[in-house]
Structure 1
């Protein structure tokens, strides 16, 4: 079985380690834990990750956040991956830092990456792992906040939160979304 695991973010050094790039960071940690290295391919950086008889295609789109749907659609078609085997990892302002929530579908909640994926695929019925980045910013400064680096407090627990996100990704592929949501969303 094949799975497409998409970490949302923006390419370029100016976006490295920013809150909006948490999807990239989750996939980087997952790949590093398995000694895998991403290769630059069409529409993004990609690596194949074997997992107990399954094949996980980890994708960090190079389309920039607002055009993420193009990369998702391309790899779904190229690899013949059904929608139920797609998981998108995304930053979420509505959750406190480090909170992880897996959902089987939902609205874009104003997130441009999710908005473009839904528009491109023609549905909001795809799984997403929401990684809380908090919302400690003055009114009207949301863009500055999501494009800024994490603070020291966040970095102190980042390795553990990235590892927990990786465990959710693996469980999604091995146990399915319902069991994974029941196990991890309570924490």
Structure 2
């Protein structure tokens, strides 16, 4: 348990195999009476390039075995996910090895940068401003300034 920006949060790193992580998530949620929509799961995402992250609520597990177990144990897919891009190896048969190995140094830097960028959305998440948090996570470049209006 921690307090961040005046909000009490629970940080959970399951000590199970990733494929069984739902057991820990559901146990914490039941014990502290945490609704699925109040849960944020950070996970690797094959369908997103390294250096990018996406924040979304609900949806399918898309074949991710950790999410599959969380869905099953919570009895709901209606939790928030911070999807950290790791890219796809390009060949389906290589996916298992890809997700288990350490990323190449250049990809590791991109992944770490996307995590650092995503942390900028924490204050909005803690305030329950998930639309704002989503925009912050999805925006990787500063907005272009608008040209001055002609007078």
Q: Give yes or no for TM over 0.5.
A: yes
Q: Which residue of 2 aligns with 1:94?
A: 47
Deviation at 1:175, TM superposition (A): 4.1
**Deviations 1:62-91 (Å, cap 9, x if unpaired)?**
121111111011111222222221000111
Which residue, out of 85, 89, 96, partners 1:132? 85
Which residue, out of 130, 135, 139, partners 1:182? 135
Distance 2:132 2:115 in 1: 20
Distance 1:85 1:99 in 2: 23
Distance 2:75 2:91 in 1: 34
Give the number of the structure whose residues are more often strand, by fraction: 1
Q: TM-score, normalised by structure 1?
A: 0.69
| 1:64 correspondence with 2:17 | yes
Distance 1:158 1:182 in 2: 19
Structure 2 portions without partners, runs of 5+: 141-151
Q: Which residue of 2 aligns with 1:26?
A: none
Describe the SS at the equivalent of 1:101: strand
Whose Rg is larger? Answer: 2
Describe the SS at the equivalent of 2:73: helix
Q: TM-score, normalised by structure 2?
A: 0.83
Deviation at 1:169, TM superposition (A): 3.9
Distance 1:99 1:172 in 2: 18
Runs of at least 4 residues off by over 4 Å: none
